[in-house]
Structure 1
Amino acid sequence: MADHQKIHPVRHDLEAPQTPTAPLVPRGASKSDQSDPAALEEKYVPPPKRTIPVTHSRPPKRRSSCCKCMCWTVSFLVLLVIIIGAVVGILFLVFQPKIPKFSVDKLQVTQYNSDSNSDTLSATFDLTVTTRNPNKHIGIYYVSGSRISVWYTDKELVQGALPVFYQGHRNTTVLNLTMSGTTQNATVLLSTIQQQQQSTGSVPLTIKANQPVKIKLGKLKLFKIRFRVRCTLLVDSLTTENQITIASSSCKFRPIL
């Protein structure tokens, strides 16, 4: 009988150092994590970091309620002025307003008496004036509250008022006015007027009128405005005996703003 081969197990000494048969890291590969840290730092260079500047914005200012109210008020007033200006401009282009005309046609002295005791002069003038409305689409209401006076230098001789009436489009109206008044220091005043008449042959007078009117545009009646009339006259004398001649007359009619 053939001999059986005996297999003897090989005992490995677990305590003996073992030599690896193959390298842990293949050739050409980088070293493991257990390699030298200094070498790793030399090989790995981190990319530079971009630093973005941080800008701190200021917090928005809060407007107070008073400032907002002021801004709204100013804006409203500016808008209102623009609207009024546009309306006035349209009305001016449509109606083309013109200033009325005023002229003095006749002056008559019906009373011219001096009182030596009180040193006063009592006078009554009858004045004929003509008013013209040159507007084609505008009517004029002459309302109450007017005043008209006749002056010699700084002395008021007589005063009165214009009548209340309506003057239509392109209308001419003749007014007969009676004015009266009393002036102080009559002796000096009469002497000055007489010297003026003898030296120049005429007596300068000034007529002043302040007249409130209402303008009518079509069917629309506007608010009340005032006109001021100023006329300069040269008359040959101031007596009740002779007919007074007006040598020259010039009037200006303008609104009071």
Structure 2
Amino acid sequence: TDYLRFLATFAVVVAVFASIFLLTSGLAGPKGGVEGFLFQAARLVVAVGVAIVAGIVLVRAGVVPRAMAVETYVTPFANFFSRYGRAAILILALISTYRIADIVMGVMANVFYVDLGFEKQEIGWISGGFGLAMTIVGTFLGGLLILRYGILRILFVGGLLAAGTNVLFAFLATQGNVLPLLMAVIAADNLSGGIAAAAFVAYLSSLTSTRFTATQYALFSSIMLLLPKLIAGYSGLIVDAVGYAPFFIGTACLGIPVLAMIVFIARLTLAPQDD
């Protein structure tokens, strides 16, 4: 059937992407610094490009009905750009960077706690148990604040808090093994993370069209992690080069452009055109 062929085509495209990305990992290239980051980004771009070409070839060869492929992959994206116009690029830039400060910092959190001398049991119950509870509280609080003040305002507040709490980690790095301070920092970080997450999910949901909710939300969810995860892969190298405190300050600064984009988008008073 058409749906089975569509599924098979999707599997082939994913396999092509994975194969190209893995094959290029064997290429001799820079391992660290800006050059290393650009090399990894180039690998990703090449793999995505080849996968897209493979998909186009399969569609043109008649493996999948052209109308089905267009309706599934092209129309939802065209709909988003037609609804938001030039602002669509700015919105996508915001989506791709909103969580950059906490993700780039977060991959080093547990290593940081261990290096400060905290026991793994302490880290487990504070970060996993207590921290999770604070995240839930933050998410609930974020939802209430959105109802009261609107999505964009709380999106800004969440971004500010998520980036700002990274400065607390820099302070913790200068104080060493102080358990009450660790609890306070984790509480603040997870509470702000919950608020930011609630606002971000609400914002992504507000961007989707009722006709293409699933596809567009999947696109946004993929974009929001791509750049942060790519940069986070170099967090360890950055810490080795500059130390924990400057690293955390730097990750906090990553949130500044995000806040600027939110302010600019809010001033545009964006109202999507009818579907």
Interval containing the TM-score (normalised by the shorter chain): under 0.3
Normalising by structure 1, report the TM-score. Answer: 0.27
Q: Which has the higher strand share?
A: 1
Larger radius of gyration: 1
Normalising by structure 2, report the TM-score. Answer: 0.25
Q: Which has the higher helix share?
A: 2
Higher relative contact order (CA 8 A, sep 6+): 2
